[in-house]
Amino acid sequence: MSTDTAPFFDGKAFPRWKLLMEAHLQAPGLDVWRVTKEGTRSNSARERQFDAITKSTLLSSLCDDVFNRMFASPNAHELWKQIVENHEGSADVSNQKYHVLADELTSFKQLDNKSAHDMFSRLNTFVNEINNLGLKQVTNGEVNRKIIRCLRKPDYDIIKTVLLKEDSDNKTPNEVINTIVAHGYSMGIIKQESTSTSSQKSLGVKHTCKHQPRRQEQSSSEEEEDDDADEASSSSEDEATSRAIIFY
């Protein structure tokens, strides 16, 4: 197995690196990943070869700071376990992380003017972080029910009622999201969400680029000064009216 394509770990975003490394070690054969996760079954040349491949891959993927703390591990299994413990913490730390993430998941909701896809992307981040802790796996059914219950009111009330009557345990989250997106297009919700942000930005540009009242040359007569004041007041009112029209 080539170590050139192994995901590099710079000490940050450990959950992502861990997932990528697991997939990388499983790719050439499940025995390599087995030795990483469980250790060698015997002292045979075959088992020791799996261990050497895995250890070389792991060490080659570490930045200097992490490497200097891990290189003394005697085998691939101990090396992997030490990397995980150093970046995920002990069982107590994992439990604390789990409860924090679970609380955030409970209060999770779809944001205003954000699509179902955006909501699912944010939700999936929480789910993956919880599952990576290895304490409790969030099932597809639980994810589906969370997706349905946190849909924004009143835009998704109809599809929410329909989906709650169905068996969400036998669907994947992607199937549920696709159903919601299809409903969004049919009801015009998706179009509103996609144009809302650009409209707000456009409003900001228009407001800053509005024509300012032309300054009048100063006059020594009181009559001309009064005319200037009246014109400035009228121009200000016109500008306010124009902004209101743009806003609505």
Residues 132-154: tens digit of each pLDDT? 887 889 999 999 999 999 998 88
Summarize the confidence of residues 101-127 as an average pLDDT: 91
CB 181 within 8 A of CB 190: yes
Rg (CA), the chain: 30
- Using alpha carbons only, give the angle 65, 69, 75 rounded to the nearest 5 degrees: 130
CB 24 within 8 A of CB 7: yes
The sign of the torsion formed by the CA atoms of 214, 215, 217, 221 equals positive
pLDDT recorded at residue 195: 55
pLDDT recorded at residue 15: 85
pLDDT recorded at residue 154: 86
pLDDT recorded at residue 239: 45
Summarize the confidence of residues 171-193 as an average pLDDT: 84
Q: How far is CA 135 from CA 96, 98, 140, 141, 143, in A?
A: 11, 8, 16, 18, 17
Q: Which residue has the higher pLDDT, 215 or 163?
A: 163
Instruction: Kindly report the average pLDDT of the chain as a whole number.
Output: 80
Residue 28 in tokens: 């050439």
Residue 153 in tokens: 């009111």
Among 55-69, 128-142, 166-180, which range has the highest average pLDDT?
55-69
pLDDT in tens, 195-228: 555 545 554 544 444 444 444 444 444 445 555 5
User: Does 183 score more than 50 pLDDT?
Assistant: yes
pLDDT recorded at residue 1: 54
pLDDT recorded at residue 134: 78
Task: Please enumerate in sequence order all residues whose Cβ is within 8 A of that of 12, keeping only pairs 6 or more positions apart, or say none.
Answer: none
Determine whether 24 is exposed, middle or buried from the number of CB atoms within 10 Å of its CB (0-12, 13-18, 19+): buried
User: Does 177 score more than 90 pLDDT?
Assistant: yes
pLDDT recorded at residue 25: 95
User: Does 68 score more than 50 pLDDT?
Assistant: yes
pLDDT recorded at residue 91: 77
Euclidean distance between CA atoms 50 and 58, whole angstroms: 12
pLDDT recorded at residue 168: 84
User: Does 166 score more than 60 pLDDT?
Assistant: yes
From 134, 125, 127, 146, select the one nearest 94 (Cα to Cα).
Answer: 134
pLDDT recorded at residue 243: 38
pLDDT in tens, 91-106: 788 888 899 999 999 9
Amino acid at 217: E
